Amino acid sequence: MGRFSILIIDDEEAQLESLKSFLSKRDYTIYTATGGPEGLEIIQSHPVDLVLTDFRMPEWNGFVVLRKVKETNPNIDVVVITAYGSVEDAVEIMKAGAYDYLTKPIDLSELENLIQRVEEKRQLVEENRQLREQLQERFKFDAIVSQSGEMEEVLNHAARVASSKATVLIRGESGTGKELIARAIHHAGPRKDKPFVVINVAALPETLLESELFGHVKGAFTGATADRMGRFEEADGGTLFIDEVGDIPTTVQVKLLRAIQFGSIQRLGGNTNIEVNTRIIGATHRNLEERMKTGDFREDLYYRLNVVSIWIPPLRKRKSDIPALVEHFINKYAEENEKEVEGITKEALDQLMKHDFHGNVRELENMIERAVVFSRSKHLTQSDLPKPIDVVAESEVIDPENLQDGYEEKMQAFERRMIEEALSQTDGNQSAAARMLGMTERHIRSRMERLGMK
C-alpha cells in the first residue's frame, strides 16, 4: 500500500536538511522542495500524505501553498511552520484549511506527535468509510457515497424536500448522479411504496416523446394498434423522474405544463381527461435560463418545475468524495466479477485525485469497473487505470491557452468531445444526439465520418 509520505517545503537549506535528516530515520518517504512551485510539481508527480511548509517564503507564502495543495488533492494534510507564532497567524492558517501549525524553532517531539495524529486521522477516515459502506443498504440516503461538505448540503436539501409534494428540479453536469438523488427523494418520502418511473427525454425521438409521456389511443398514429398508457399514468401515486427535461420540445412543453398544473392528462389521439397524482422530479444539465431567453424553454413551465432546485456540484469540485467512491466501486465490481480485489494503491488513488473527471462520477465508475476486470492483484495499481488518466492529451489540445497545437486540430478535438458527450447522454442514439446539438441527423453522421468516429 506504500509508506506514509511527507513533503517538506522550506527556502532555508539548513532547516530543510534538519527536518529531512530527522524524519528519514522513521519509516517515512521524504520529499523536499525549496519553494511552493517546486513542491507542487512533486505533489503532481508523487503520492503525498502530508505537507510541512514554511510560512514565509519568497515566491509563495504558506497560504498560497496551502491553497494550491488543496486544489490539487484535498486529501493531503498541510501543516504550516511559522517563526512568529502569533495567535492571528494561527487562526488564519487553520481557517484556510491547514491541519495544524508549528512554530520555530520546531520541537521535534511535538512534530513527531503531530505526524502520528495525522496518520491516526487517516486510519479513522478509512474505518468510517467502511462503516458507511455497511450502512448503505439500510438507509437510502446513506447509499449515496459521499463525504464532502458540498454533497452533505445536497443530501440535506433532498432529505428536507422528500416528505413534501413539491416539484423538484435537479441540476448538474452529466454523470453527477442526478437520478440517484431523485430515487433517494422518492424512497425517503411518503410515496416510497408507489412506482418510481424514469423517462430520458434526450434518448427519445421527438415523434415518440409525447406518446411515451402521456400514452396513446388505438389508431392515434400508424402502428398504434391498441390503447397504451404513458409514463404519467404508470407513475400515478408515485414519482415520475424526467431526465434531461431541458431538451423537451416546445410543442410537448405545453402539455407537460398542463399535466403539472391541473393533475390531468390526455392520451395522444384521445379527448378524455385522465386524473393523475404524480409527483414530478426533473433533471437537466442545460442552462434553462439561457434557453428561456432564446425561446426554447417556456418560462411558465420553468417556474412550475423549479419549485425546489437542487444543484449537484461536479466531481472536480468535491474531490474529497473520490476515495469513498473508489472504495464503493471496487467492492461493487469485485463482487459482480468475482475478483479478489480489496483496494487501491496509494499511487493509483493519488493519480485519480489529480484527474478532473469531466464525465464526473459516471467516468470514475467506468474507470474502476474496467480496472477491476483487468486487475491481476488484490490492489488496483496505476497500470490498471486507463491511459488517459496519466496523459490527458485531448484536454491539453482543447485548452485554449496551449498554443502548441494547430487551430484545426483544436477545433476537431473540441467537436469530437461534444459529439461523444451528446452520444453518451443519449445512449448512442444519433438522432437524439443531433437534436441535442442543434443539427440534423445527416449532419452529425457527416461530421462523425470526417472526424473518424465510429
Of 424, 429, 427, 425, nearest to 445 by C-alpha is 429
Alpha-carbon distance 299 to 309, whole Å? 15
Q: How confident is the model at residue 130, as a pLDDT?
A: 54
Contacts (Cβ under 8 Å, ≥6 apart) of 211: 220, 221, 224, 228, 230, 268
pLDDT tens for residues 373-387? 989 899 999 888 876
pLDDT tens for residues 127-172? 655 544 443 433 445 557 787 878 888 888 888 898 899 999 999 9
Of 352, 374, 391, which marks where a domain is finished?
Answer: 391
> Is residue 175 domain-resident?
yes
Torsion angle, alpha carbons of 142, 144, 150, 154, to 10: -80
According to DSSP, the β-strands at 196-200 and 239-243 are parallel
Determine the average pLDDT of the residues in 436-449: 84
Q: Indicate whether 330 and 372 sit together in one domain.
A: yes
Q: Indicate whether 40 and 176 sit together in one domain.
A: no
> Is residue 404 domain-resident?
yes
Residue 121: pLDDT over 90: no
> Is residue 136 domain-resident?
no
pLDDT tens for residues 47-60? 899 999 988 888 89
Of 72, 407, 291, 246, nearest to 256 by C-alpha is 246
Burial class (CB in 10 A: 0-12, 13-18, 19+), 52: buried
Residue 284: pLDDT over 80: yes
Residue 402: pLDDT over 90: no
> Is residue 86 domain-resident?
yes
Q: Where does the pLDDT of residue 107 fall: very low under 50, low under 70, confident under 90, or very high at 90 and above?
A: confident
Q: Indicate whether 301 and 324 sit together in one domain.
A: no
Determine the average pLDDT of the residues in 206-219: 87
Cis omega (within 30 of 0) for bond into 105: yes
Among 95-99, 121-125, 391-395, which is the least confidently predicted range?
391-395
Q: Indicate whether 120 and 179 sit together in one domain.
A: no
Q: How confident is the model at residue 453, as a pLDDT?
A: 76
Q: How confident is the model at residue 200, as a pLDDT?
A: 92
> Is residue 173 domain-resident?
yes
pLDDT tens for residues 255-277? 999 999 999 999 988 888 999 99
| Cell triple for 99 | 491541519
0.95 surpassed by pTM: no
Of 311, 339, 358, which marks where a domain is finished?
Answer: 311
Residue 1: pLDDT over 60: no
Q: How confident is the model at residue 87, as a pLDDT?
A: 60
> Is residue 137 domain-resident?
no
Alpha-carbon distance 326 to 194, whole Å? 32
Q: Indicate whether 154 and 256 sit together in one domain.
A: yes
Residue 442: pLDDT over 70: yes
Angle ∠(122,49,107) on CA atoms, nearest 5: 90
Report which secondary-structure segment, H or E, holds 197.
strand 196-200
Report the CATH number at residue 329: 1.10.8.60
Name the average pLDDT for the chain.
Answer: 85
Per DSSP, the three-state class of 198 is strand
Whole-Å CA distances, 413 to 405, 407, 429, 452: 11, 10, 21, 11
Q: Indicate whether 152 and 240 sit together in one domain.
A: yes
Q: Indicate whether 283 and 321 sit together in one domain.
A: no
Q: How far is CA 418 from the centre of its chain?
A: 18
Determine the length of the chain. Answer: 454
> Is residue 218 domain-resident?
yes
Report which secondary-structure segment, H or E, holds 150.
helix 149-162
Among 31-45, 204-218, 378-392, which is the least confidently predicted range?
378-392
C-alpha Rg value of the chain to the nearest Å: 26
Determine the average pLDDT of the residues in 24-48: 90
End-to-end CA distance of the chain: 40
Largest Cα–Cα separation, the chain: 88
Instruction: Provide the number of structural domains found in the chain.
Output: 4
> Is residue 440 domain-resident?
yes
* Position 14, amino acid: A
Q: Indicate whether 271 and 372 sit together in one domain.
A: no
Of 136 and 71, the structure prediction assigns the larger pLDDT to 71
Q: Indicate whether 260 and 186 sit together in one domain.
A: yes
Q: Indicate whether 169 and 291 sit together in one domain.
A: yes
Determine the average pLDDT of the residues in 21-31: 88
Q: How confident is the model at residue 454, as a pLDDT?
A: 62
Report the CATH number at residue 97: 3.40.50.2300
Q: Indicate whether 108 and 19 sit together in one domain.
A: yes
Q: Residue 407's domain spans which residues?
A: 394-450
Among 3-7, 242-246, 449-453, which is the least confidently predicted range?
449-453
Of 264, 290, 311, which marks where a domain is finished?
Answer: 311
Q: Indicate whether 258 and 328 sit together in one domain.
A: no
10 φ, ψ to 5°? -160, 135
| Cell triple for 348 | 493509483
Residue 203: pLDDT over 50: yes
Determine the average pLDDT of the residues in 102-111: 87
Report the CATH number at residue 435: 1.10.10
